[in-house]
A = this chain, B = another copy of it.
Amino acid sequence: MEDVSIVIAASAGQGIQTVESLLVAIFKKAGFHVYASKEYESRVRGGSNTTELRVAGHRVAAFRRRIDILIPFTLGSIEHVRSRISDDTVIIADKILFKNTDPSTLSINPILLPFREKAMEIGNWIYANVVAVGTISALFGIDQSVGEEILNARFSAKGEQVSEENLKAFRSGCIMGAELQSERALSIRIPAPPHMEGEILMNGNEAVALGAIAGGCNFISAYPMSPSTGVLDTLASLSEEFGIVVDQAEDEIAAMNKAIGAWYAGARAIVSTSGGGFALMTEGLSLAGMTESPLVVHLAQRPGPATGLPTRTAQEDLNHAIYSGHGEFCRLVFAPGTIEQAFHITQRAFQIADALQIPVFVLTDQDFVDSYYNIPRIDVSDLVAEHGFVSTDDGYRRYELTADGLSPRGVPGLGEGLVRVDSDEHDEQGHITEDMDSVRPAMVEKRVHKRIQLLQPYLEPPTVYPHPQASSILVCWGSNYQVVKEALDSLGSPDLSMVHFHNVFPLHPDTGPMLSNAGKVMIMENNATGQFANLLRQQTGYEIPQENRHLRYSGKPWSVEEVVEMLKKEGF
């Protein structure tokens, strides 16, 4: 086996994050590629949540349906993943779980190990999780010292006793794992891949947050909302180190207006939210348009409408990002497909927002922000966060009409000029005007037509993978990149490629020709109306037929297997 999918299934609040994070760290340190994604209910305790860990000899970055090893922490969670359990699934569970239940009544045949018993021997049942970690680690034939090092790093701050007992628990787990190997001939040997040096692990929210810092972000105003809150958390945790003003706003309206106020005063601000919160921000978005304020919006999608499924995934807010807010102004929407892209796009979002004085979106979703996998080291030594503002002099006019359509942006306190911005239609000085014959049209052209011109050089074409000239294409956007990529890799169809859009609005001018030159065009989206397909038609005239639109709106991400099946049905 070169590619193992381990699923940990538990109730909220059972502390399985420890199991997940230790295992991921151990696998990575042992030199494997890892991927982790979670799905969870909107509650704090109880229910059934799962985390999938993939361990492989090659890069893995997408969700698989298949479960090779299942580690259930409740009986209910076995039901929860029932449809993913096959005869090949190895179930490893704590004996205690089946104290009153015969596994055969659940039609499963788990390997039962005394995790809790061992933990009690060491002194406390809470070590049971670490015992399990030891077992899995040994099962993968990973040297015990790897895990020990990780545990030391993790627990040394908690005092000697805790640290020691965790180590003991881990070792006792390793022994069970080794026994399992020999007794049950269950052994996993993954060829260690080369060049793992410096590979880093981040989830989507962290990538956005760190990309923001690379882009010079020093202000975040946000109201907590799943699944976007991780960006707020990460920037808060780094606020002192990077000098970031953090305001948990009273509501999303405030968050947006604070961000615009902050940009006005020379900060670089981001807002981070999900659909419902963003809806509340749209009046403010329009203010950014009118005042020609730069702005970066992180919008992490989840299924709607309204509260919907707060912890699930969707791509339902593309239209919302593109069209929301009253009146007309220019905006740019990115939807990263990979963790690296999320970092770089967010960094670039700040540069473009500042250079063009427009709102730039980073559109993600729950599946994307909560998943992580190892990626090559990111080198930021060449990056600079260039400020787009200028020093002003006495006669400064914030909305000067210039040839290229950009009015130099001053900030209060830098130079002698007064920086006067206005949400009403205004003249070059920023003063209210009712001049509809010349001022208003000129200002509209500046905010809309000229800005869209200025945006052209920043637009990026979609990514075609793997064959640049394939006659059939599967269009996708945002977070579906990895799952489609892996499906295509496994299918190996010579004449089928993915066309992945990370730059979703406005579209790169190559888009139309790309579509019309293709033989067959399919699309895959996580919504019920085919929002991106409709956008393509609107912008290029190319209509992807209804039967080629593969729309999913269940709240679950696609698995690699499902994409493969879908493509097979399509004849590939």
Residues of B within 8 A of A528 (CB): 328, 444-445, 448-449
A276 within 8 Å of B by Cβ?
A: yes
How distant is A236 from chain B, measured CB to nearest CB, in Å?
25
A424 within 8 Å of B by Cβ?
A: yes
Total copies of the chain:
2
For window 118-141 of A, CB contacts with B under 8 Å fall at none
- Judge whether A279 and B324 touch: CB under 8 Å: yes
Q: Which of A1-9, A262-270, A309-317, A345-353 contacts B (4 or more CB under 8 A)?
A: A309-317
Cα–Cα distance between A323 and B505 once the two chains are bound (Å): 15
**Residue of B with least CB distance to A83:** B437
Interface string of A334-371 (1 = CB under 8 A from B): 00000000000000000000000000000000000000
Residues of B within 8 A of A434 (CB): 41-42, 47, 309, 312
A482 within 8 Å of B by Cβ?
A: no
For window 281-312 of A, CB contacts with B under 8 Å fall at 282-283, 285-287, 289-291, 303-310, 312
Residues of B within 8 A of A317 (CB): 326-327
Q: Which of A25-33, A157-165, A238-246, A553-561 contacts B (4 or more CB under 8 A)?
A: A553-561
- Judge whether B324 and A320 touch: CB under 8 Å: yes
A534 within 8 Å of B by Cβ?
A: yes
Q: Which of A71-79, A96-104, A535-543 contacts B (4 or more CB under 8 A)?
A: A535-543
Cα–Cα distance between A555 and B441 once the two chains are bound (Å): 9
The answer to whether A276 and B286 touch (CB under 8 A), given A424-B308, A537-B537, A538-B534, is yes
How distant is A331 from chain B, measured CB to nearest CB, in Å?
11
- Among A41, A279, A285, the most chain B Cβ lie within 10 Å of the Cβ of A279
- Judge whether A308 and B323 touch: CB under 8 Å: no
How distant is A272 from chain B, measured CB to nearest CB, in Å?
15
A275 within 8 Å of B by Cβ?
A: yes
- Judge whether A287 and B312 touch: CB under 8 Å: no
Cα–Cα distance between A436 and B310 once the two chains are bound (Å): 13
A145 within 8 Å of B by Cβ?
A: no
**Residue of B with least CB distance to A286:** B305
- Judge whether B290 and A308 touch: CB under 8 Å: yes
Cα–Cα distance between A326 and B280 once the two chains are bound (Å): 10
A527 within 8 Å of B by Cβ?
A: yes
Residues of B within 8 A of A314 (CB): 327
* From B286, B305, B309, contact of A329 by CB (8 A): B305
Cα–Cα distance between A312 and B440 once the two chains are bound (Å): 11
**Residue of B with least CB distance to A542:** B541
- Judge whether A307 and B253 touch: CB under 8 Å: no
Cα–Cα distance between A274 and B554 once the two chains are bound (Å): 35
Residues of B within 8 A of A146 (CB): none
Residues of B within 8 A of A481 (CB): none
The answer to whether A327 and B304 touch (CB under 8 A), given A534-B538, A538-B538, is yes
Q: List 15 A-B contacts (CB under 8 A).
A: A42-B424, A275-B326, A304-B328, A305-B325, A306-B423, A306-B424, A308-B423, A310-B424, A316-B326, A328-B528, A328-B553, A436-B555, A448-B529, A537-B538, A538-B538
What is the interface of chain A, defined by CB distance below 8 A to chain B? Answer: 41-42, 47, 83, 253, 274-276, 278-280, 282-283, 285-287, 289-291, 303-310, 312, 314, 316-317, 319-320, 322-329, 423-425, 432, 434, 436-437, 440-441, 444-445, 447-449, 527-529, 534-535, 537-538, 541, 543, 553-556
| Shortest beta-carbon contacts, A-B, top 5 | A304-B327, A275-B326, A305-B327, A538-B538, A290-B306
11 additional A-B residue pairs with CB within 8 Å, beyond A83-B437, A534-B538: A42-B424, A42-B432, A276-B326, A280-B283, A289-B304, A290-B308, A305-B328, A306-B326, A328-B528, A535-B538, A537-B538
